[in-house]
């Protein structure tokens, strides 16, 4: 937890020497507490005080970085239990499983499929982030070869899962030694074996077990200098996994139990792929840092990625697009002109329906501070005056020749007043964006 200015002040030299550029030690402490200055700015601070202040002010949950740009994954360092308190900061990494028993050709095909599993939603491209390579063959050579094939094809970080510490040590060396792997030993291993696995590499370590046992392992590993650790409940039921996730987050943030201050890796795999995908969604909602999944089908993976996108947006800031006129398709002066708000979900719902209908349109996104059509209307941000002003700002009378504008069916009540205000012929479109395609094809030409 962050230290207060007074907490910091107690450890300062209290000489008011001003060498930090601030008139008093108290003022300096306040600046450090608010993040405007760093402890290094005080040349008089003793090493002991610096080290105790640094440790005390460290985040309760450690930030773990895996790999490097453009595939850098950052997980952990979360600060709240509930996203409405602040927000969740580092999105869950989704790791798709691959077995090292696959042939070279099948591995290559799997990598192509990994790249193809990409979804566009509300202006963002959603993809999985990692591969979880499982050592089902039991052979270090097989795992090494598979890891190199995958890494060369995708370049994404990997979770390497094997019951053999020796196999993991071998694979973690070579081209994967740059820190782009999490080593997860699924078999029994002594702490010294775990330390040996990550020695001389930048690999991260995952340990599993009960809350009590992982806390003990993390404490010993920390004492031996291993800091970048993930914890996992292992292959247990969904209910037990959720219990582990909740207990570890609460223990870290509320009870300041630093041995649990590690991101959590969860396993959402199983023969029932639909149930496993649902488990993955639940684990994303409840704090998982990495979720290992076998959702290799688009209809299973998309809900997981959509859940992540929703959970990791800032609940205090509506997601919005720039308020302006957008050209969708090969527009001309005859193209329909549609109006919606600049709430991302509203705008992209309309845009995707227009794209699907293959009828080029112009869409005006009116600035409603990122609120939806009905919320914007209820709060008087989506009204005849604001829509008319948006049309004028966009210069639509220079862009279209038909002088017709289509408004969402939910605000049909403003049609007459908008007609008077703007001088345009106002048409009432469907209430739901899903009806736009049919409207453009069946109704637009006839009105």
Nearest-approach distance from CB 17 to ligand SF4, in angstroms? 4
Least CB distance from residue 55 to ligand SF4, whole Å? 19
Find the shortest distance in angstroms from Cβ 35 to ligand SF4: 16
Complex with ligand SF4: residue 22 or 230, whichever CB lies closer = 22
* Residue-level length of the chain: 447
Name the minimum Å distance from CB 33 to ligand SF4: 13
Tokens of 316: 């205090």
CB of 49 to ligand SF4, least distance (A): 10
C-alpha span between 175 and 28 (Å, rounded): 46
Residue 53 or 436: the one with the smaller Cβ distance to ligand SF4 is: 53
Nearer to ligand SF4, 54 or 356 (CB): 54
Q: Which helix (H) or strand (E) holds 268?
A: strand 264-268
For 380: left if phi > 0, alpha if psi spans -120 to 50, otherwise beta; the answer is left
Quick one: which of 433, 431, 432, 429 has its CA closest to 442?
Answer: 429
Per DSSP, what are the bridge partners of residue 268?
A: 293
**DSSP H or E stretch at residue 249:** helix 238-253
Q: Which of 46, 356 has the CB closer to ligand SF4?
A: 46
Is the CB of 46 or the CB of 213 nearer to ligand SF4?
A: 46
Q: Which is nearer to ligand SF4, 11 or 349 (CB)?
A: 11
- Which is closer to ligand SF4, CB of 35 or CB of 395? 35
| Cα-based torsion angle of the residue sequence 202, 281, 248, 226 in order, rounded to the nearest 10 degrees | 0
Residues making contact with ligand SF4 (CB under 6 A): 12-13, 15-20, 22, 25, 28, 42, 44
* Nearer CB in complex with ligand SF4: 20/198: 20
Closest approach of ligand SF4 to the CB of residue 53, in Å: 12
Residue 40 CB, shortest distance to ligand SF4, in Å, is 11
Tell me how far, at minimum, the Cβ of 7 lies from ligand SF4, in Å: 14
Long-range contacts of 15-24 (CB under 8 A, 24+ apart): 15/44, 17/44, 19/43, 19/44
List strands edge to edge, sheet with 361-366.
Answer: 325-328, 361-366, 337-341, 404-407, 425-428
- Rounded CA separation 330/341 (Å): 22
CB-count burial class (<10 Å; 0-12, 13-18, 19+) for 71: middle
CB of 9 to ligand SF4, least distance (A): 9
Specify the 3-state DSSP secondary structure of 397: helix
Is cis: bond before 70, omega within 30 of 0? yes
Give the span between the Cα atoms of 400 and 274, in whole angstroms. Answer: 48
- Residue whose CB is less far from ligand SF4, 39 or 111: 39
């Amino acid at each position: 937890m962050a230290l207060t200015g007074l907490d910091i002040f107690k450890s300062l030299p209290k000489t008011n020497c001003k060498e930090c550029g601030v008139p008093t030690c108290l003022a300096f402490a306040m600046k450090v507490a608010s993040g405007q200055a760093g402890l290094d700015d005080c040349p008089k601070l003793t090493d002991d005080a610096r080290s105790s202040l640094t440790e005390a002010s460290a985040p309760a949950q450690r930030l773990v970085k895996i790999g490097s740009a453009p595939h850098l994954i950052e997980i952990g360092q979360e600060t709240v239990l509930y996203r409405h308190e602040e927000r969740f900061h580092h999105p869950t990494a989704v790791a798709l499983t691959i077995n090292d028993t696959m042939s070279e050709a099948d591995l290559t095909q799997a990598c192509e499929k990994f790249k193809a599993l990409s979804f566009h939603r509300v202006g963002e491209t959603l993809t999985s982030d990692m591969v979880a390579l499982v050592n089902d063959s039991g052979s270090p050579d097989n795992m090494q070869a598979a890891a190199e094939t995958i890494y060369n094809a995708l370049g994404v970080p990997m979770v390497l899962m094997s019951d053999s510490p020796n196999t993991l040590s071998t694979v973690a060396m070579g081209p994967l030694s740059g820190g782009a792997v999490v080593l997860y030993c699924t078999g029994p291993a002594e702490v010294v074996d775990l330390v040996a696995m990550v020695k001389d590499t930048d690999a991260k370590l995952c340990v599993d077990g009960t809350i009590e046992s992982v806390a003990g392992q993390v404490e010993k590993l920390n004492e031996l200098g291993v800091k970048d650790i993930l914890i996992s409940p292992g292959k247990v039921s969904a209910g037990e996994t959720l219990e582990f996730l909740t207990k570890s987050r609460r223990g870290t943030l509320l009870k300041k139990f630093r041995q649990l201050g590690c991101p959590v890796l969860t396993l959402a795999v199983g023969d029932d792929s639909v149930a496993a995908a649902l488990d993955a969604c639940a684990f994303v909602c409840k704090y998982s840092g990495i979720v290992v999944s076998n959702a290799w089908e688009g209809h299973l993976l998309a809900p997981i990625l959509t859940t992540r996108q929703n959970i990791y947006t800032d609940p205090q800031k509506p997601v919005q697009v720039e308020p302006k006129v957008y050209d969708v398709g090969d527009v001309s002066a005859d193209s329909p002109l549609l109006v919606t708000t600049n709430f991302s979900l509203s705008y992209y719902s309309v845009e995707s329906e227009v794209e699907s209908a293959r009828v080029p349109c112009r869409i005006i996104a009116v600035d409603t501070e990122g609120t939806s059509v009905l919320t914007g209307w209820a709060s008087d941000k989506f009204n005849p005056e604001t829509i008319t002003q948006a049309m004028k700002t966009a210069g639509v009378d220079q862009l279209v020749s038909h002088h017709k504008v289509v408004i969402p069916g939910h605000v049909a009540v403003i049609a007459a007043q908008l007609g008077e205000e703007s001088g345009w012929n106002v048409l009432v479109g469907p209430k739901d964006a899903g009806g736009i395609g049919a409207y453009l094809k069946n109704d637009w030409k006839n009105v």
